[in-house]
A and B are shown apart, each in its own frame.
Chain A
Amino acid sequence: MPIINMDDKILLSHGGGGKKTQDLIRHIFLEKFSNEELNELDDGAVIGDMIITTDSFVVNPLFFPGGDIGKLSISGTVNDIVAMGGTPLFLSAGFIIEEGFPLEDLKKIVDSMSNEAKAVPVKIVTGDTKVVEKGKGDGIYINTTGFGKKTLELGLERIKPGNKIIITGTVGDHGASILLSRNQFEIESGLKSDCAPLYGLLKSILSEDIKFMRDPTRGGLAAVLNEIVRKDWGIEIFEDKIPIREDVKGICEMLGIDPITMANEGKMVIFVEGDRVEETLKTLHMHPLGRDASIIGKVTDQIKGRVVERTVAGTTRIIDMPSGESLPRIC
């Protein structure tokens, strides 16, 4: 049975970051675009000592506790550059705006883009604006493309059994806060999106000890670990080591969503040389964005090609690539 049937149409789940997205990339885009740089299927491409990466932002609602689409559009792209071992230098910004969109909201979004970019720091050096008819967009969509200088050699091929895995903080904050900000549940909470550029946090740990990094956005921790795992080794994680806020845990329980499949916008999964992991963790803990960093698991050759979790009950379960979208349009 073909994975992509040409009579099919694009479904929301094709944009969920799970298996359907992977199928779309492999069977539609890669099929025609295939080249040495793209085939790596990393968060961005490496060209000489430059890194280029792009991301589009379609979040709904545009403003949410802890951030807005503007902040997201800077942190998302900056984090992709950082995950590839780069120092972020320049960004482009493309806006697709719906007719009738309040200028005041646009100004708020641009303000927060500007603030975030200065804080990294990274310069927005080129851009584009398009306006579409009312009803043909959803307020505003933003695309940012990032350029960075490669400062550290990272790569999947550097991951070896014995490496340890760190998450830089609590998981699921962004996904859960977007869910709540849609106000469908009438639950009040102090929860905020974790949306933040991570260059400041991560530049302090960049060294040969770091093997690989990826930011667990759509599909959360479960999706990135499944993207990373290779057929000759496996990943074992420990449920009781994964930091999750109590309110996120409660919301996820109530809605039957696994927090490790919820999106994050200010967290990094880091693969570290096994005997250097404590030093890395200590350094992360010194930064406000790394306070809750935790060693959540390890790379092992006892299992192959699979992500396995040791549950709090002491049993094991397979963590599979999440399928479909747990909620639409989160980044």
Chain B
Amino acid sequence: MKYIDEFRDAEILRDWGRKISLIKVSKSINLMEVCGTHTVSIHRFGLHKLLPENVKHISGPGCPVCVTPNRYIDEAIELSKMEDITIVTFGDMVRVPGSRSSLEKEKAEGADIKVVYSPLDSLKIAEETEKKVIFLAVGFETTAPTIAATVAEARKRNIRNFFILPGNKTMPNAMRSLLKDRDIKIDGFLLPGHVTTITGFREYEFIPRDFGVACAVSGFEPADIMLAFNSLINQIKTESPKVENVYQRSVKRDGNPYAKVYIERVFEPINSEWRGLGEIEHSGLGLKDEFKSFDIRNAVKIDIPEPFEHPGCRCGDVLKGKINPSDCPLFGDPCTPDNPIGPCMVSSEGSCSAYYKYG
């Protein structure tokens, strides 16, 4: 078992495609995923092309960089311009355009910006400098445990020049907000496999119960996703919505208790602004009182002008699944992965980028 090739077997995938098309549902069906890795995998392997014509796949607000509002990026850029500051970030954030600049451009101007794969690396950086080292804390429940562990470790080791710019988001209430939006029709959710590995899927059970919408917890290999599509269409056909876990090799109903303990120790739910969706109650993570000293907003005054979005950019509507990326007037010209206007074109997980790259 190598865990890659077996889940990409063409014959198995075609079989699932056939099985799915045999489930005859006459109405049109919208299936939404809310995870950037699902977006990429579906486009990378062309899985949406294996679905029957009446089944449409929509990418929702699942790319962490894409849902981060301009205000946050502007704050990060403003911080990067300050003399005694090192910005530490996941690579995806570097090229995202804020209202007026990007971290990539500030880096060329001399800003001290370092890319890491693990938030814990920022502690090493902090220990080797006198400067304030600020980690850009973005992402969903998947990045939250390691960021929480980093903050806890910083306190334990008494590293006083380490801070975060809190921006983490949590998924359930964002999905609730989409379900309440009358302009958006969602018949089934592919639940994010990475996020639910941490949180479990218990907290998504309100979706079938309160909204009658089908849910399937899905992994990321082509066979995982086809299996999840099959589960959703079956639930829709039989009008028996539930949360089905088809990613049992990773996800449990209550998730990973160790990771959750870290999140709960360091963070608390706060209201949070999402690009395209606006402010959503209890959809973000802020530092608890005892860790507030690690919030750079408490240590440095960040003055930024009112953020603005490119007037033509429709990332917000793309994130809500209201339009396809190719329906945006900027898509492909002038907005491309090399000249991104909106964040959905920057991140490798962004739906515009996935549409552009893979067709």
Using CB atoms and an 8 Å cutoff, list the residues of chain A in contact with chain B. Answer: 1, 3, 8-13, 18-20, 23, 184-185, 240, 246, 249-250, 253, 255-256, 258, 311-318, 320, 323-324
Contact = CB atoms under 8 A, between A and B. Distances in A.
* Interface of chain A: mostly helix, strand, loop or mixed: loop
The 10 closest A-B pairs by CB, nearest first: A315-B46, A9-B108, A318-B359, A323-B337, A313-B45, A317-B358, A19-B338, A312-B8, A1-B334, A313-B13
Interface residues of B, number: 38
13 contacts: A11-B108, A12-B104, A13-B338, A19-B336, A184-B121, A240-B10, A311-B46, A312-B45, A313-B222, A315-B47, A316-B46, A320-B356, A323-B337
B357 A250 contact: no
Nearest to A252: B4
Contacts of B43: 317
Contacts of A1: 334, 339
B104 A13 contact: yes
B95 interface: yes
B105 A318 contact: no
A28 to B, nearest CB: 16
A67 B163 CA distance: 39
Contacts of B121: 184
Which of B104, B109, B349 has most chain A Cβ within 10 Å? B104
A129 B156 CA distance: 50
B46 A312 contact: no
A227 to B, nearest CB: 15
Nearest to A312: B8
B209 interface: no
Interface of B: 2, 4, 8-10, 13-14, 37, 40, 43-47, 49-50, 95, 104-105, 107-109, 116-118, 121, 222, 334, 336-339, 348-349, 356-359
A318 B116 contact: no
Given A10-B108, A318-B358, A323 B222 contact: no
A209 to B, nearest CB: 31
Contacts of B334: 1
Given A1-B339, A18-B338, A19-B338, A315 B116 contact: no
Contacts of B117: 184-185, 255
B184 to A, nearest CB: 27
Nearest to A316: B46
A231 to B, nearest CB: 17
A9 B109 contact: yes
Nearest to A5: B339
B40 A249 contact: no
Contact of A324 (B46, B338, B357, B359): B338
A11 B95 CA distance: 10
B8 A256 contact: no
Nearest to A306: B359
B47 A184 contact: no
Contacts of B47: 313, 315
Contacts of B349: 256
B45 A315 contact: yes
Which of B46, B49, B108, B117 has most chain A Cβ within 10 Å? B46
B2 A246 contact: yes
Which of B4, B9, B37 has most chain A Cβ within 10 Å? B4
B219 to A, nearest CB: 12
Given A9-B105, A184-B117, A317-B45, 18 more contacts: A3-B339, A9-B108, A12-B104, A13-B104, A253-B4, A256-B349, A311-B44, A311-B45, A313-B14, A313-B45, A313-B47, A315-B45, A315-B49, A317-B46, A318-B359, A320-B356, A323-B336, A324-B337
A256 B45 contact: no
Nearest to B349: A256
Contacts of B338: 13, 18-20, 23, 323-324
A42 to B, nearest CB: 23
B357 A320 contact: yes
A310 B239 CA distance: 36
Contacts of A185: 117
A249 B337 contact: no
Nearest to B108: A9
A1 B104 CA distance: 20
B225 to A, nearest CB: 10
B27 to A, nearest CB: 25
Nearest to A253: B4
Contacts of B45: 311-313, 315, 317
A19 B336 CA distance: 11
Which of B37, B107, B116, B337 has most chain A Cβ within 10 Å? B337
A23 B40 CA distance: 27
A18 B357 CA distance: 13
A27 to B, nearest CB: 13
Nearest to B102: A11
A312 B14 CA distance: 10
A8 B339 CA distance: 12
Nearest to B14: A314
Nearest to A222: B357
A249 B3 CA distance: 11
A76 to B, nearest CB: 25
Contacts of B359: 316-318
A61 to B, nearest CB: 16
A256 B108 contact: no
Nearest to B109: A9
A138 B197 CA distance: 42
B291 to A, nearest CB: 26
Given A9-B108, A11-B108, A256 B46 contact: no
